[in-house]
Amino acid sequence: MTRDEIILNNLGLVGSCASRFIGKGIDYEDLYSAGCIGLIKAVDRFDESLGFAFSTYAVPSVLGEIRRLFRDGGTIKVSRSLKEKGRVLLSVAEQLKYENGVEPTVSELAEKMNMSIEETAQLFCIMQPVMSLTSDDDSEKQIEIAGADEYSPIDDRLAITKIIEELPENDRALIKLRFYDELTQSKTAQILGISQVQVSRREKIILSQMREKLIS
């Protein structure tokens, strides 16, 4: 699957994540646009060799951008020039669809607009109509969505998994031995070839860094 297809095929995931924050004081359209930015960042950073499904990796990124929106005051600032460029982009997309009989890819649009693929994808997502929570016949979509006030523990688990993936190899091994294999600090020290004191000190540092990333 191409980068373009991954972005477009996961807009429903963005809608699902954005819906969790309905009623929190920010319009759904802004929540959705912020989520699209998180989706694009996830696509750019995703590494298939890690063995995780893309959706598992993308959810923390999408939710992170939405939460950033709350921290930044609740509004995505889209300049007039960006809006104008977005309208041109949509016009070009319609023209290419008319000429070729199929939806253009982000790569084709980027070439036509003389823009980078990243800029085109982000602009395209921002200018797209938001994903409706209902289909054309107003029946509910088959997407399981947590309520706005409902706590979803899986969000934290996914975020922690992503943070652990980004740790240096030695730190990742230490966390695995201590908290996944549930070994003592002494046994972990033997396996890693360091002292128990070093394990204790390093463990505190790693957990502190992970905590900061989790709440940032």
Q: Which CATH number does the domain housing residue 196 bear?
A: 1.10.10
| pTM across the whole model | 0.46
Q: Once rounded to an integer, what is the mean pLDDT over residues 102-123?
A: 77
Phi-psi sector, 26: left (phi>0), alpha (psi -120 to 50), beta: beta
Q: Is residue 137 part of a domain?
A: no
Domain boundary among 79, 108, 127: 127
Tokens encoding 112: 């036509």
The per-residue pLDDT for 190 is 93
86 and 21 in one domain? Answer: yes
Angle made by CA atoms 178, 207, 59, in degrees to the nearest 5? 100
Highest mean predicted confidence (pLDDT) among 44-58, 72-86, 98-112, 195-209: 195-209
**Position of tokens 């990742």?**
172
Whether 93 is covered by a domain: the verdict is yes
Please tell me whether residues 83 and 29 are part of one structural domain.
yes
Poorest-pLDDT segment among 1-10, 76-85, 99-108 = 76-85
Domain region containing 194? 167-215
Q: Which long-range contacts (CB under 8 A, 24 or more apart) does 141-148 make?
A: 141/12, 143/12, 143/15, 143/16, 144/16, 145/16, 145/19, 145/20, 146/20, 147/20, 148/19, 148/20, 148/21, 148/22, 148/23, 148/24
Q: Which of 65, 98, 127 is the last residue of a domain?
A: 127
Residues in the chain: 216
Residue 155 in any domain: the answer is no
Mean pLDDT across 152-158: 52
Q: What tokens does 123 get?
A: 């602009």
The count of domains in the chain is 2
What is the predicted pLDDT for the residue at 153? 46
Q: Tell me how crowded residue 153 is: count the other CB atoms within 10 A of its CB.
A: 7
Distance CA 216, CA 210 (A): 10
Across 26-30, average pLDDT: 80
